[in-house]
Amino acid sequence: MVNSSKQTTGPGTSQNTQNDGGSAAAAARTGGGQIVLAATPIGNMGDATNRLIGLLETADVIAAEDTRRLHRLVSALKITTSGRIISYHEHNEATRTADLLEMVRGGATLLMVTDAGMPAVSDPGFRLVEAAAREGLTVTAAPGPSAVLTALALSGLPTDRFCFEGFLPRKAGERSARLAELAGERRTMVFFEAPHRLEPMLRALDAAFGGDRRAAVARELTKLHEQVLRAPLRELLEWAEASEVRGEIAVVVAGAGEAAPELPEDHVAAVNGLVAQGARLKDAVATVAEDARISKRELYSAVLAARG
pLDDT at 3 (0 to 100): 66
Q: Are strands 214-219 and 138-142 parallel, antiparallel or unpaired?
A: unpaired
Q: Where do the H-state alpha helices sit in the chain?
A: 21-30, 50-58, 67-77, 93-105, 126-135, 147-154, 172-182, 198-209, 233-242, 268-276, 281-292, 296-307
Q: What's phi and psi for 75, nearest 5 deg?
A: -65, -40
Positive or negative: CA dihedral 5, 8, 13, 17: negative
| CATH number, domain 11-145, options 1.10.3720.10, 1.20.140.10, 3.40.1010.10, 3.40.190.10 | 3.40.1010.10
pLDDT at 205 (0 to 100): 97
As its CATH architecture, domain 148-253 has 2-Layer Sandwich (3.30)
CA pair distance 215, 205, nearest whole angstrom: 10
What does DSSP assign to residue 159?
Answer: -
Rg (CA), the chain: 27
Kindly give the confidence (pLDDT) of every residue in the chain, 308 residues in length, as a single tens digit, with 9 standing for 90 and above: 676 655 544 333 334 344 454 444 444 443 579 999 999 999 999 999 999 999 999 999 999 999 999 999 999 999 999 999 999 998 888 899 999 999 999 999 999 999 999 999 988 899 999 999 999 999 999 999 999 999 999 999 999 999 999 999 999 999 999 999 999 999 999 999 999 999 999 999 999 999 999 999 999 999 999 999 999 999 999 999 999 999 999 999 999 986 666 788 889 999 999 999 999 999 999 999 998 889 999 999 999 999 87
Q: What's phi and psi for 241, nearest 5 deg?
A: -65, -30
